[in-house]
Amino acid sequence: MKQLTSYSDWLNLSSKDEPFLLFVKTTNCSVCAGLYPQAEPLEEEFNIPFYVVNAAEVKELAGQLSLFTAPVVLLWKNKKEFTRFARFVPIQDLRHALKEIELMENDYV
């Protein structure tokens, strides 16, 4: 996963047309630490870029996206939020949403 380190990184990313996954974690979050190793291998399964950001370090992002907990996994498509998973993220549900985005993208090619 590529790291976002500033709000301007986010603005650049969110302005692109391509779909992506954003994994939002925070410092000293045990749920984040447990979920990240489960979500990271999904990047190899899908042709969708994955990004990670620490909300404690990029506070503007947390405010702009109304993130009140961590972890949060956002799937972004067509410059807007497609779906959001927060706190306890079922990996099978995340995998299903990624497949859905990938199928939608393949239909447009």
Measuring CA to CA, how many Å separate 10 from each of 32, 42, 58, 61, 71? 20, 21, 9, 7, 17
What pLDDT does 15 receive?
92
Is residue 4 very low, low, confident or very high in pLDDT (cuts 50, 70, 90)?
very high
CATH of the domain at 29: 3.40.30.10
pLDDT tens, position by position, 34-92: 999 999 999 999 999 999 999 999 999 988 888 888 999 999 998 999 999 998 899 99
Q: Which residues contact 89 (CB under 8 A, 6 or more apart)?
A: 35, 39, 71, 73
* Residue ranges making up the domain that contains 44: 2-103
Whether 82 maps to a domain, the answer reads: yes
Give this prediction's pTM.
0.91
Whether 109 maps to a domain, the answer reads: no
What pLDDT does 109 receive?
46
